[in-house]
Amino acid sequence: MAKIEARLEELGIQLPDAPAPAANYVPFVRTGNQLFVSGQISNGPEGLIRGKLGDGMDVEEGAMAARFCGLALIAQAKAAIGDLDKLRVVKLVGFVNSTTDFTDQPKVINGCSDLMVEVFGEAGRHARSAVSAASLPMGVAVEIEAIFEVA
């Protein structure tokens, strides 16, 4: 069994199916040794995770929503490459649906960042942006896109 697949099993993590695009775009593009994964929205086992941070949704709930985005990012990368052991996480860009006075976007996106390090180890450490958005598609709480390096 591949190292990352074994790590996922050890952590009790089952990846979701790679989500289909919701509009006129592709879920990922590989160019050279880089894999760009389109933004993945917060979608858990119960469906879309909707809400606005700072207005009825707290940081812990937001971080869990970001973790689900991370699972979808990994699922897309697996669909694109097949072998997760060939991947290094280069950059995450996280968007948080939040009120104008909410300032904990980094703590929310940590839900995804922590997952990447948990799963990929040192290869999961990455550059990152965490920004606020006035709204996100379908009212979701979080959307995150990723760039991976392929060995």
d(CA 121, CA 31) in angstroms, rounded, equals: 24
CA-CA distance, 64 to 34, in Å (whole number)? 27
What's the confidence (pLDDT) of residue 1? 67
Task: State the pLDDT at residue 2.
Answer: 93
What local confidence, expressed as pLDDT, does residue 22 receive? Answer: 85
Q: Which domains does the chain have, with CATH numbers?
A: 3-12+25-150 (3.30.1330.40)
H-helix or E-strand spanning residue 19: none
DSSP characters over 118-145: HHHGGGG--EEEEEEES--GGGBSEEEE
DSSP 102: -
Give the DSSP H or E segment for 74.
Answer: helix 59-81
Paired with 34 in beta bridges are 31, 149
Yes or no: say if 126 and 78 are a contact pair by the CB < 8 Å rule. Answer: no
- Tens-digit pLDDT profile for the chain (151 aa)? 699 999 999 999 999 999 999 899 999 999 999 999 999 999 999 999 999 999 999 999 999 999 999 999 999 999 999 999 999 999 999 999 999 999 999 999 999 999 999 999 999 999 999 999 999 999 999 999 999 999 9
Q: Quick check: 53 and 110 in contact, CB under 8 A?
A: no
